[in-house]
């Protein structure tokens, strides 16, 4: 099994602000082995941990992420929206996140989030940061909804890849083979038992997002699902 059965989603998004150093630390404090985080680019080409194309939801700023530089982003509060306990939390760069993850001996599913940025530059920046951090391939899985991003990443790196789908497309095997994927990730609410068996029978590990319900988690386990992404691992029992 590549990943643990419970993977912290965006850190542990129900317990700490998503895609932050505080969230990474919280996941480690809870004893999780794997976390999932999103990486995208700022307007100046800096790779940062962020999910949305706009900064409104999870920072004190407004507007498009791509219109910000690292200097501008560093002035924003990325914690108070979640709780006053996290006031002053910043949006971390990829290298800052990788450094902490490595220090805590966590493993990472890094999701490439294009957000209309230059895909080639995103991949180049991610590969460069992973190399600079000397991040272990054994503790890394790279995934994306954007197949072109995965094709570009595969051309630059031998790291393990997971194909990420909202629901399983008819040509999923072709896409997986094209990037030599090891895992398939599907929306838990869209997955049917027949499709789960099809994925497992084809030799792939199968992970589902985002599962915050024990009944659903148990059903998925019965179907052979290897693990789930969760905002709050405590609810899964």
User: Cα–Cα distance between 215 and 60 in angstroms, integer?
Assistant: 36
- Catalytic-labelled residue, pool 51, 147, 174, 185: 51
Q: Taking Cα atoms as reference points, which of 183, 216, 47 lies closest to residue 115?
A: 47
Residues contacting 64, CB < 8 A, separation 6+: 53, 54, 55
> How many other C-beta atoms can be found within 10 angstroms of the C-beta atom of residue 12?
27
By three-state DSSP, how is residue 25 classified?
A: helix
Cα distances from 69 to residues 59, 93, 196, in angstroms, run: 14, 12, 42
The residue with tokens 């999910």 is 51
- 185 classed as catalytic: no
Radius of gyration of the chain (CA): 17
User: Cα–Cα distance between 17 and 79 in angstroms, integer?
Assistant: 6
Please, is 183 exposed, middle or buried when counting C-beta atoms within 10 Å of its C-beta (0-12, 13-18, 19+)?
Answer: buried
Q: Which are the catalytic amino acids?
A: 9, 51
């Amino acid at each position: 099994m590549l990943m643990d059965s419970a993977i912290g989603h965006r850190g542990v998004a129900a317990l700490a602000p998503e895609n932050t150093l505080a969230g990474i630390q919280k996941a480690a404090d809870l004893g999780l082995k794997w976390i999932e985080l999103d990486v995208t680019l700022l307007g100046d080409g800096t790779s940062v941990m962020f999910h949305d194309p706009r900064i409104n939801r999870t920072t004190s700023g407004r507007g498009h992420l791509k219109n910000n530089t690292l200097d501008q982003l560093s002035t924003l509060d990325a914690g108070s929206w979640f709780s006053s306990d996290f006031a002053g939390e910043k949006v971390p760069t990829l290298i800052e996140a990788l450094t902490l993850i490595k220090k805590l001996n966590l493993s990472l599913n890094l999701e490439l989030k294009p957000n209309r940025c230059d895909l080639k530059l995103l991949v180049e920046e991610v590969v460069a940061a992973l190399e600079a951090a000397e991040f272990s391939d054994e503790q890394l899985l790279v995934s994306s909804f954007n197949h072109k991003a995965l094709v570009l990443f595969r051309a630059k790196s031998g790291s393990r890849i997971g194909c990420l789908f909202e629901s399983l497309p008819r040509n999923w095997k072709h896409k997986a083979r094209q990037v030599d994927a090891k895992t398939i990730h599907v929306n838990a609410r869209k997955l049917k038992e027949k499709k789960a068996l099809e994925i497992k029978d084809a030799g792939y590990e199968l992970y589902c997002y985002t599962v915050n319900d024990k009944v659903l988690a148990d059903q998925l386990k019965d179907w052979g699902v290897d693990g789930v992404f969760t905002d709050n691992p405590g609810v899964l029992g």
